[in-house]
A and B are shown apart, each in its own frame.
Chain A
Amino acid sequence: MLRLTINDQLVEILKGYTLLQAAREHGIAIPTLCYLESLAPYAACRLCLVELVSARGSKLVASCAYPCEEGLIVRTNSPMVLDARRTVVELLMTTAGHLPAVQVLAREYGVPAPYVTLESNDCILCGLCVRACKEIVGVGAISLTQRGMAREVSVPFHISSADCIECATCALVCPTGAIRIEQFTRPARTMHTWTSAYARRACRLCEYEPPGEPFPTNYRELLGIQSA
């Protein structure tokens, strides 16, 4: 067991856990958008930044990816952390201010409307869909393409992905509802730039063919997920 201090509270945690996991284990709230327990940390959204205090000074680290060490001094709500968090939310609001997930954060941290707004986009580039498709499903049908302002989740050659098994995992993990399931002649995944409508196939975790019922289009409602 390792011992570290989070918000002046002594915390004991097993080796191998991250700061985020340690904090959440002890009831300390840290916001995230790109974190999912069943996926490797990606540290893309930067909402989980916490302050590491040391003799040489403080620094911000992504708690979802930083492993716990003996004797660390962590602050999750210091002025440094809150300032960083507000900046992240403000940047998110430039393209995603219309999303409930972002509005909740803006309210909680008192972030006003940003000075600049860009083209509205449901996708916040958290990478959850890409990572889930690769790590959980094992297929890797979609990926993050391009760079800078043009960065987007897409299918190979922006045409289609023959590797897609229509499992809907990407739609399930999407925190904003940018990937939707729509009913065409068969259920299909759509995002503002691509559509995937192939016959459903079993993934490597399925031992048998998936059941005949198509995935319902109102799955978000059924699961109680706030829709975009």
Chain B
Amino acid sequence: MAISITELYDLINREAQDDASLIAVLEGIQAQYRYLPFEALALASERLGVPLSQAFSVATFYHAFSLRPKGKHCLHVCMGTACHVRGSPQVLDRLLTKLGVRPGGTTRDRQFTLETVNCLGACALGPIVVTDGEYSGQMTPQKVDALLRRVAKVEGVASTSISPSTERADTCSAGESP
């Protein structure tokens, strides 16, 4: 993915005020590129006058930041107690199989990121899968297929193109080693 340096500079300058703006700057970069490229961290730390190690520390500490590109569509499966006893592990398993990633991982074509969350606070609707902010309640492994088909339709691709990646997929959690 080509990163435009001027675009990065504009983005950083938009948020930057002093060294306390680091998180605000990183949030802007994450929103724009769906992850924090190395160049972005280096430029941001230089512009804000903080050591690169500090920018890296902040980037790896917060789950909101990712050092590897996230997928176009982010799927969050609730693994809280209520959803768990209602069968969310089976829902997760189905998604893992269909997408061919580990929890926290991103498909090779960078279309999907699959993550687990601890509780969404909507237990009566459990098990829940959140797709790009849209809540799907009372999920079952069968409904997972339907969900993925819907996303494929929105994308305009054949649903059969959503298949397990043949090569090992990246993880997208910040700082996680492959």
Residue numbers of A with Cβ under 8 A of B are 130, 134, 139-147, 150, 154-158, 161, 163
Contacts and interface: CB of A to CB of B under 8 A. Distances in A.
A40 B7 CA distance: 38
Interface string B65-78: 00100000000000
Contacts of A146: 60-61, 175
A141 B61 CA distance: 17
Contacts of B32: none
Contacts of B38: 157
B177 interface: yes
B54 interface: yes
Contacts of B55: 156
Query: By CB atoms of chain A within 10 A, which of B50, B55, B60, B175 has the most?
Result: B60
B51 A144 contact: no
A122 B55 CA distance: 25
Interface of B: 38, 41, 50-57, 60-61, 67, 175, 177
A150 B171 CA distance: 15
Contacts of B61: 145-147
Contacts of B177: 158
22 contacts: A134-B51, A134-B54, A139-B51, A140-B51, A141-B51, A142-B53, A143-B53, A144-B57, A145-B57, A145-B60, A145-B175, A146-B60, A147-B61, A154-B56, A155-B53, A156-B52, A156-B55, A157-B38, A157-B56, A161-B52, A163-B51, A163-B53
A142 B52 CA distance: 9
Contact of A140 (B41, B53, B60, B67): B53
B56 A156 contact: yes
A145 B56 contact: yes
A141 to B, nearest CB: 6
B115 to A, nearest CB: 16
Given A130-B53, A145-B60, A157-B38, 18 more contacts: A134-B51, A134-B54, A139-B51, A140-B51, A140-B54, A145-B56, A145-B175, A146-B60, A146-B175, A147-B60, A150-B175, A156-B53, A156-B55, A156-B56, A157-B56, A158-B175, A161-B53, A163-B53
Contacts of A140: 50-51, 53-54
A54 to B, nearest CB: 34
